[in-house]
Chains A and B, each alone.
Chain A
Amino acid sequence: QSVLTQPPSASGTPGQRVTISCSGSSSNIGSNSVNWYQQVPGTAPKLLIYRNNQRPSGVPDRFSGSKSGTSASLAINGLQSEDEVDYYCAAWDDSLSGWVFGGGTKLTVL
């Protein structure tokens, strides 16, 4: 059971906008920034969004992040077939004094 809650799956058609939610509590998302990682199965996770809404160099601006209260969201505009991978949210938890992750969301491009 993950500390952060994500939907196990999400889907959309090419060109569509998709959002993935991440729900936490006051000790993690509510008081710290949220990061998002993208993982192609069989490979290491890759940083996608940091500090709630910042994109690392090289990440397309189709990807965006937001945070409100104890929840965060990842939005993908102009969905493409290569976006069909797994996405994880993460945040520092003050109560646990450790990093916590969401259970991951598998995105399907229909």
Chain B
Amino acid sequence: QVQLVQSGAEVKKPGASVKVSCKASGNTFTAYDMHWVRQAPGQGLEWMGRINPNSGDTSFAQKFQGRVTMTRDTSINTAYMELTKLRSDDTAEYYCAREGVGGPSGVNWFDPWGQGTLVTVSS
């Protein structure tokens, strides 16, 4: 059973950057895309983007284009999400989530999820 373990909570000032890590157990890290989803306090889920851990290819939600970078280190089965130019409305729980199977997104799903990383942006 794959498990995703994320880095700890962060507190950042407006304008700063944050980098969150997501370490996968097992030996299937490069087989399935890794996604990042965030949830502002009391709000719903919002997809940010994904990375193919094998190729490094990425795609992002338009809202985050230019501010988000997703990378991976296959030697340690870890994916990273960096968000720059932080604003107060970036305060949220950030989750990594693995695609359920390889193949088209239209018939895919997210499972498992990491435990979440709370990023607080405050002056």
Contacts and interface: CB of A to CB of B under 8 A. Distances in A.
Given A45-B95, A99-B35, A103-B44, A92 B110 contact: no
A50 B95 contact: no
B109 A50 contact: yes
Nearest to B111: A47
A81 to B, nearest CB: 23
A31 B62 CA distance: 21
Interface residues of B, number: 25
B101 to A, nearest CB: 9
A44 B107 contact: no
Interface string B79-123: 000000000000000010100100001111111111110000000
Interface of B: 35, 37, 44-47, 49, 59, 61-62, 95, 97, 100, 105-116
Given A47-B100, A50-B100, A104-B44, 17 more contacts: A2-B44, A32-B107, A37-B110, A43-B115, A45-B95, A47-B111, A50-B109, A51-B109, A88-B45, A92-B106, A97-B59, A98-B47, A98-B49, A99-B105, A101-B45, A101-B46, A104-B45
Interface of A: 2, 31-33, 35, 37, 43-47, 50-51, 56, 88, 90, 92, 94, 96-104
